[in-house]
Amino acid sequence: MSSSTESVSYPDSVARVAATLRELRHAEMPVMLDAAARTAQQAADALGVSLGQIAKSIVFRHAESDRAVLVVCAGDRRVDEHAVAAQVGRLARADADFVRAATGFAIGGVSPVGHRNPPIALIDASLWRFDRIWAAAGHPHAVFPLVPDDLQRWLGVAPGTVTAAPAAAR
């Protein structure tokens, strides 16, 4: 993992996230990983943290408005599409082109902040099991640290239940 952010030349999408983080007065800027972290497991492995500490951003398409629906949840949880639809309305498939057009990010690097267009956002309460979490920063090689309360403040939504409990916990 590259640890210096002082003279980092970020890709455009990461620079947009970094600018948003500065606007939000977040002290910790994105870090560029040596290896891609397109999945929560890859990110956890690269950072040496538990899978649940990765705040993964899953994007759906809101069927009625055609807006992006952003669901941020712990990496060890699976989004329950029925629970999401019950809160926001009918969902449609979000392919890679839709995700990039709606958010400005490629799948595997969707950040919870810095979107091109404001998404309909939901946050899963499972993230509050951790004091510190990591989220994608606009690129498969970029992440940034935060605390769960940051997400609630930045996205303007209260945490809820939008994931299914892990199989072992059922």
Q: Sketch the domain layout of the chain as residue ranges.
A: 33-169
pLDDT at site 36: 84
Cα atoms found within 13 Å of the Cα of residue 7, Cβ hemisphere only: 0
pLDDT at site 63: 97
The answer to whether the CB of 127 falls within 8 A of the CB of 146 is no
pLDDT at site 4: 42
pLDDT surpassing 70 at residue 68: yes
For residue 66, give every residue at least 6 positions away whose Cβ sits within 8 Å of its Cβ, in sequence order, or none. none
CATH of 33-169, one of 3.40.50.720, 3.90.960.10, 3.20.20.70, 3.30.70.360: 3.90.960.10
- Maximum pairwise Cα distance, the chain: 47
Higher pLDDT, 168 or 134: 134
**Residue-wise pLDDT tens digits, 103-157:** 999 999 999 999 999 999 999 999 999 999 999 999 999 999 999 999 999 999 9
